[in-house]
Amino acid sequence: MIDKNLEYAVVPIAGLGTRMLPATKSIPKEMLPIFDTPVIQHVVEEIKSAGFSKIIFITHSSKNAIGNHFDKSFELEATLEKRIKRSQLKEIKNISDKEIDLLYVRQGEALGLGHAIKCASTIVGKKPFAVVLPDRVLDKYNCNQEEDNLAKLKKHFLKNKKNCFLVSEVPQSDVNKFGIIKPKEISDKFIIVEKIIEKPSKNEAPSNLASVGRYIFTADIFDHIPDKPSGKSKEIELTDAMQDLIDAKHEIHAITSKGQYFDCGDKVGYFEAFISFAYKDNKLGDILKNLTREILE
């Protein structure tokens, strides 16, 4: 369901992908394939399945390959048509599907996630919007993308009109990698958040509930994102703006995600996603499993 009051999803893709070097020296990290499909295409499909009609990419001059990927490829389509590769032709045409509008905004300076989100304010205006981090890719085989996770978050926002985001339990050993919440009230449907801390130490973490990079905000968030980093930090953190919202008496809800979100900005997480998607592929999954067994033997 597309709601005209909640149609935008902001996707920050301006990061340089230093955790994935040397693969990302000349290739955007979002274009790295998870089996046979780029990271960014998985993310766009999740957004579309949740019922959003416009995506705002917050981008960088080195990310032209992403725009090219979603553009129509007349030469490739003509070649596939000539060779009667109909299944591949359909797949390629679906990539440049015009049912969802793709907009691009340059982030002039690398000032952090909060700054990247604020770059969308001139387009979003006073409307609510989603934020979807492309480093986190959903295991689509273990959930219904039209009902769960981002879709469920959207439904919750439209009903409650509260800022909200998805969380998932992580091992205590990994809490220093994520934004971790301190619950204030817990019900069977959502959690009212008392505090959110960016990458706390294991001893400081108030729980093991971590953000999975799926948010929906009212335009109020823009007023809580500073124009410049404060203190010793060189980046404007989104979690700081969220905590500022909470301190200003704005209620923020957390909803538990279903299934797994792979951290594809990390080499181990990326490898895990690649193997998981490859093994579950309808055509080649069983072949790849057998091949892996032979290699390990």
Q: In whole numbers, what is the pLDDT of the chain averaged over residues?
A: 88
Q: What is the mean pLDDT of residues 66-88?
A: 71
If one compares 222 and 63, the residue with the highest pLDDT of the two is: 222
| pLDDT grade for 271, boundaries at 50, 70 and 90 | very high
Greater model confidence, 260 or 76:
260
- The band of 279, judged by pLDDT with boundaries at 50, 70 and 90, is very high
Residue 1: what pLDDT? 47
Res 231: pLDDT: 64
80 versus 197: the higher-pLDDT residue is 197
Phi/psi for 185 (5° steps) reads -140, 140
Q: To 5 degrees, how large is the angle CA 136–CA 141–CA 142?
A: 85
Percent of the chain whose predicted confidence (pLDDT) is above 70: 90
Alpha-helical runs (H) found in 197-282: 238-247, 267-279
**Going by DSSP bridges, is the β-strand pair 33-34/37-38 parallel, antiparallel, or unpaired?**
antiparallel
Q: What is the pLDDT of residue 98?
A: 63
Condensed to tens digits (0 to 9), the pLDDT of residues 170-217 reads 999 889 988 999 999 888 889 999 999 988 998 899 999 999 999 999
Instruction: Assess contact for 45 and 102: CB atoms under 8 A.
Output: no
Other Cβ atoms within 10 Å of 93 Cβ, number:
14
Comparing 29 with 85, the larger pLDDT belongs to 29
pLDDT tens string 83-105? 776 676 666 666 666 678 889 99
Cis link prior to 229 (omega < 30° from 0)?
Answer: no
User: What pLDDT is attached to residue 86?
Assistant: 67
> If you average pLDDT over residues 25-40, what whole number do you get?
91
Question: What pTM was computed for the model?
Answer: 0.90
pLDDT tops 80 at residue 82 = no
Determine the pLDDT at residue 85: 67
Please report the pLDDT score of residue 296 as a whole number: 87
Domains of the chain: 8-296 (3.90.550.10)
Structure-token pair, residue 135: 């480093």
pLDDT, tens digit, 9 for 90 and up, residues 107-122: 888 888 999 999 999 9
* Dihedrals phi, psi of 105, to nearest 5 degrees: -130, 130
**pLDDT surpasses 80 at 4:** no
Position 77 confidence tier, pLDDT thresholds 50, 70, 90: low
Confidence at 230, pLDDT banded by 50, 70, 90: confident
pLDDT over 70 (residue 275): yes
Q: What pLDDT does 34 receive?
A: 94
